[in-house]
Amino acid sequence: MSFPAEPAEATTESAPQTALDARSHLLNRATAEHYRSSVADGVDRVAVKLARVDRPFTGITPDRLAPAVSAIDLDRPLGDPAAALDELESVYLRDAIYFHHPRYLAHLNCPVVIPAVVGEAVLSAVNSSMDTWDQSAGGTLIERRLVDWTAERIGFGRAADGIFTSGGSQSNLQALLLARDEACRIVQKNAETSLRKPEILPRLRILTSEASHFSITKGATLLGLGPEAVISVPCDHDKRMQTVALARELERCAEQDLVVMAVVATAGTTDFGSIDPLPEIADLCERAGTWLHVDAAYGCGLLVSRRRHLLDGIERADSVTVDYHKSFFQPVSSSAVLVRDRETMRHVTYYADYLNPARMAENRIPNQVDKSIQTTRRFDALKLWMTLRVMGADGIGELFDEVVDRAAGGWELLNEDPRFEVVTRPQLSTLVFRYVPPAGADPVLTDRINLHAREALFASGDAIVAGTKVDGRHYLKFTLLNPETTLADIAHVLDLIAEHAGRCLAEHTATELSRPRAS
């Protein structure tokens, strides 16, 4: 096994900067050429690095890298972008995790498309803040157009609306906030006596599958409901929410005078890529008068895919989460929450005289802060705008379809390989599996072998895979989001896993054989 080089000594010597020197680094018309050359230097270095990376990771450990970072004296600037980039090579670029490498197979991190990176460079330099019209102007209209475009793809009508967010967790949180306050409004409206919101909150419940994202429980806690407000609904063999169990929970909550403020369906679970039966869930929510939120942070790529039918029923949701920085190949961060009825956004609308006074809404000034739980917010929508204007929606869809196709081929490899067992056939691009010892082994040893294989593979830097638990046992996970990953890459990583697992098993066997036997 090869090991990465020791971190280079950090340079700390520099003369203190004067105020005049500091002003020379401000981006304005006088420094435009300095900006151009500095950014070009940074781009050149990253381009060279991307071209030369031959594995997704160097295998560096925190203990080996931390001293180089700690040795840097942040109170003694280098004064020159080129020198800072030289230093950055030793503390970041050399040992970064490179998602563009075809043997990065771990988490929901995608390689990014060039038009989006161009958009990132533009939005960072102009630095628009998306909270009010007088800070963003055209950026406001571009974001609103992309919200409308996404809503159209979902199948929402003209009353839809939405807002860009930092990621799926924030999108889910905002959707739950809207659902909570809408549920409280309806309870108060129908109550025979006056009820205050604090009296209603303990009765609120959220129903979601046992395979849903942890942000649902975190969101419930942040909203003052507590984790006990989230009721886990069992999944079937394919890791999809059981609608029979959902119907039973809806009935039980009604009998106990509990208010189901939202049912959260998942279109692309993090562990399995499974898609809950959206039409059936929508039927149950409609009959119960319950808010339906669809977490499509992962599966939103289907909106531009030839597999769009897998999202049938999503148009009946009250809110939807999409993460463009997963299956739309956008740089982090780029997400949005969409609602079928824009009127529900009033639950996050607050006015401040110094920012967005109510008279601006009356004059139809489009201030995005009126529907966001953030105030200052980046113009992340520009990245998607540039992508659509250069590649088009079909181009994005083709890339996502490639990784879904590759996962199907990967499932065939795993299903036919006696060294492994695979949990379920993927609907999207995730494969959950584990190494199985040839002669069989007790569950504890099998867990240990699979954990060791994952850790040893990561330490080597040759490939990166994820892990999870299924029924309390340790499994490995491939999350495929790179169209450049081939079946040959998958087969090679499986061989590496089997090699590390086999070595661990051999060491265990040798240890057991060397132990003295009881007489």
Return the number of other C-beta atoms located less than 10 Å from residue 68's C-beta.
Answer: 19
- Where residue 12 falls among pLDDT bands split at 50, 70, 90? very low
**106-126 pLDDT, tens digit each:** 999 999 999 999 999 999 999
| Cα–Cα dist 498/465, whole Å | 13
| Cα–Cα dist 348/174, whole Å | 8
| Cα–Cα dist 80/83, whole Å | 5
**324-368 pLDDT, tens digit each:** 999 999 999 999 999 999 999 999 999 999 999 999 999 999 999
**245-298 pLDDT, tens digit each:** 999 999 999 999 999 999 999 999 999 999 999 999 999 999 999 999 999 999
Report, as an integer, the average pLDDT of 454-473.
97
Entry pTM: 0.94
**Out of 3.50.50.60, 1.10.760.10, 3.90.1150.170, 3.40.50.720, which CATH number does the structure's domain 394-511 have?**
3.90.1150.170
| Cα–Cα dist 221/357, whole Å | 31
Q: Which amino acid makes up residue 505?
A: L
Looking at residue 29, its pLDDT comes to 96
Among residues 269, 306, 214, 246, the alpha carbon closest in space to that of 427 is found at 269
CATH topology of domain 129-391: Aspartate Aminotransferase; domain 2 (3.40.640)
The set of residues, in sequence order, having a beta carbon less than 8 Å from that of 41 and lying 6+ positions away, is: 81, 82, 85
Report, as an integer, the average pLDDT of 140-168.
98
Looking at residue 518, its pLDDT comes to 61
**In the structure encoding, which two tokens stand for residue 104, read together?**
């990065």
Phi, psi of 100 (to 5 degrees): -75, -15
Report, as an integer, the average pLDDT of 461-474.
97
Q: 482, 327 in Cβ contact below 8 A?
A: no
Q: Which amino acid makes up residue 442?
A: D
- Host H or E run for residue 230: strand 230-233
> What is the residue whose two structure tokens read 């109170």?
75
Among residues 233, 235, 230, 236, the alpha carbon closest in space to that of 262 is found at 230
- Host H or E run for residue 398: helix 393-416
- Tell me the domain boundaries of the chain: 129-391, 394-511
Chain centre distance of CA 482 = 15
Report, as an integer, the average pLDDT of 458-486.
97
| Cα–Cα dist 420/437, whole Å | 9
**486-511 pLDDT, tens digit each:** 999 999 999 999 999 999 999 988 88
Q: What is the DSSP string of 151-168?
A: HHHHT--TT-EEEEESSH
Looking at residue 2, its pLDDT comes to 45
**In the structure encoding, which two tokens stand for residue 375, read together?**
């105030």
